[in-house]
Chains A and B, each alone.
Chain A
Amino acid sequence: MTVFTLRNLIELSYNSLSYAALLFLLASGLSIIFGVMRIVNLAHAAFFLLGGYVALTVYRVLGTALWTLPVAMVVGGSVVAGVAVVIERFFLRRLGQDMTAQVLVTIGFAFIFFDTNILIWTGDNYMLHRPWPLDDSTVIGGIAFPRYRAFMIVAAVVVWAILYFVIERTRAGAIVRATVDDPQMARGIGINTNLVQMSIYGLGVFLSAMGGVVGGAFLGVSPGLDFLILPYAFAVVIIGGLGSLTGAVVGSIVVGFMENFGTALFPELSYFALFAPMAIILAVKPTGLFGRS
């Protein structure tokens, strides 16, 4: 097995870490949404993909200079979050805590997005561009490190830092935490929990769609990608624990490494190696590694 030369180990680790970063961008929103709203959001990966498609249009309008990347991230995230807020207000809120209904309605929207994407952007496969200087690799000690992967890691770290600060250190974060811990009490002291839930859904989807803009230059943008990556998003939050930010970080890293190393070591059973530990973790601790019941 050629996997365990130092060179391969470094390359694989770098790939795993950057993949984990992308998974964090995808799954952190899913985890936050669940933590606050207890909604099983099967449309999450569809929002991710939709973000990528919006970015495609942004690049077509603005061109492909470096500054268009952050613009596309913000615009893609905001547009999709706007759609999501409307869905939350008029559909999800009516469902309350009925999990079967949440699952079926969110997957219904995933199907609708699947079709509207084809309607608007055709069924072609696109790869979003990587602006200079992210389009090249940096060679250190004979090993090429693609810069875009480094950018994904930086983006994930920045997002994590902002989320951590907002949730743990600000008044808005305190309101959110109060809503998670005891929604009834939170309402009692005058917190508009409906507004909190809508904002959280918007925020979670914003993160996902922004991740889609970043990931669009890595995974590409094509119909069906949403249903392909949805299991990964759930693997991350299930391993880490639904509703835990730390859990999302750990879950992303675990899944990122298992996917890359698993594919290199035993390609045929790599998905099994990825998802089976998840089932076992759940069996031992149903709330995931960092989740609370």
Chain B
Amino acid sequence: MLKRLASHGRVVLTLAVFAALGAATPFLNDYLQSIITRALVFAIMAMSLDVLVGYTGLRSMGHGVYFALGAYSAAIMIGKMNVANLLGVFGVGLGLSCAAALFLGLLAIRAVGVYFMMITLSFSMVMWGLVYRWHTVTGGDNGITGIIPPDAFGLSLQDPVLFFYFTFAIFMVCLGLLFLLVKSPFGKTLVGIRESEARMKMLGYNTWLHKYLAFVISGTFAGISGTLWAMLNRFIAPTDVELVTSVEALLMVALGGPATLVGPVIGAGVIMFLRYWVSTYIERWYMFLGITYIITILYARGGIIGLVERLWSRKEEAPSSAPDRRVATSLTTLEGRKQP
């Protein structure tokens, strides 16, 4: 019984932290509230990317594509066509990002390693180029304004607190679904592919199909965060979906800890906090951001979760936690890094 509880300890702890967050946020000041909402929106994007980068080992630089599709479809429907159906807006965003992932996956999954990175990077550029120059549809550089979130079940999402809970609920659902996904036998095959695709092939798995499904699922979830982002800001512009957005999502995964799902959520929280809170106090914001990138890579391999686990295991020296630690750091150790 105790053992059983301990094995679920992480899940219980995670749920408790999120419950506390959900309970406390309405009492925080408006600015902190908005930062937390932003962090949750980006957390969905970072978690979905983690399925691809952390669990499957496919380093995508094209996640901004689905974010852009989710955001711009909402922007065009609400801001330009005056659609007031929340479910419809989310449905179209979800459908578009899923369709895009279905198509782009066909192109991308064949490529491996750096070429996968290049081809997904090119998707980012295509998407950015489209929204940047296609003025008649996307408003070009000026973006689209007036993306007022429609009412949900008779509740006005224009209220920041209600919008926070709306985002929070969607976030928890995404977290739950993605958690079930990575813990499922299918999720285990993804980790298997990351560790050794040849071996998985030999065992009879259709690795192409598994990678393709991971790609599609990951992209579809990223679309949700785009739709939320557009409604949260009530404004969308090409700068929201440029290449840097895709890279920033990668940073969130690396900073929090790849292949942990909760790690990227922490990463998203830290980055959003830095971007919206610290940047108001620091004059040289981009310098600070650049240094954050570099320090994360040089000193926080395995991410924040990896650091915590290392400290934890040093205290306990429990061999049972070894496999988990390996998952958390394998992204960095298995890529032929030169051993010092």
Measuring CB to CB, which residues of chain A are less than 8 angstroms from any residue of chain B? Answer: 34, 38, 40, 42, 91, 94-101, 103-105, 107-116, 119, 227, 230-231, 234-235, 238, 242, 267-272, 274-276, 278-280, 282-283, 286-287, 293
Contacts and interface: CB of A to CB of B under 8 A. Distances in A.
Nearest to B53: A100
Contacts of B107: 279-280, 282-283
Contacts of B126: 271-272, 275-276, 278-279
Given A231-B128, A279-B122, A282-B122, A38 B287 contact: no
B125 A231 contact: yes
Determine which residue in B117, B118, B292, B296 has the highest number of CB atoms from chain A within 10 A of its CB, and name it.
Answer: B118
10 contacts: A34-B114, A40-B114, A100-B331, A103-B247, A104-B247, A104-B250, A227-B242, A242-B114, A269-B130, A282-B118
Top 4 closest pairs, chain A to chain B, by CB: A271-B129, A108-B293, A111-B290, A283-B107
Interface in B129-154: 129-130, 132-136
B75 interface: no
Given A272-B134, A279-B122, 14 more contacts: A38-B114, A96-B336, A98-B332, A99-B117, A107-B244, A231-B243, A234-B118, A234-B125, A238-B119, A238-B121, A271-B126, A276-B126, A282-B115, A286-B111
Contact of A271 (B112, B132, B247, B291): B132
B108 interface: yes
Contacts of A269: 130, 133-134
Interface in B322-340: 331-332, 335-338
A124 to B, nearest CB: 17
A280 B190 CA distance: 26
B250 A115 contact: no
A110 to B, nearest CB: 7
B258 to A, nearest CB: 8
Determine which residue in B242, B293, B296 has the highest number of CB atoms from chain A within 10 A of its CB, and name it.
Answer: B293
B129 A104 contact: no
A107 to B, nearest CB: 5
Interface residues of B, number: 55
B123 interface: yes
A282 B125 CA distance: 13
A32 to B, nearest CB: 15
A275 B134 contact: no
Main secondary structure of the interface of B (DSSP, over half): helix
A108 B297 CA distance: 10
A286 B110 contact: yes
B22 to A, nearest CB: 31
A107 B247 contact: yes
Contact of B129 (A91, A107, A227, A275): A275
B61 interface: yes
Contact of B111 (A97, A98, A271, A282): A282
Contacts of A105: 293-294, 297-298
Contacts of B125: 231, 234-235, 271, 275, 278
Given A91-B298, A282-B107, A96 B122 contact: no
B290 A99 contact: no
A90 B311 CA distance: 27
Nearest to A267: B133
A159 B139 CA distance: 40
A286 B59 CA distance: 15
B129 A272 contact: yes
B276 to A, nearest CB: 17
A111 B289 contact: yes
A66 B293 CA distance: 41
A122 to B, nearest CB: 14
A286 B115 CA distance: 6
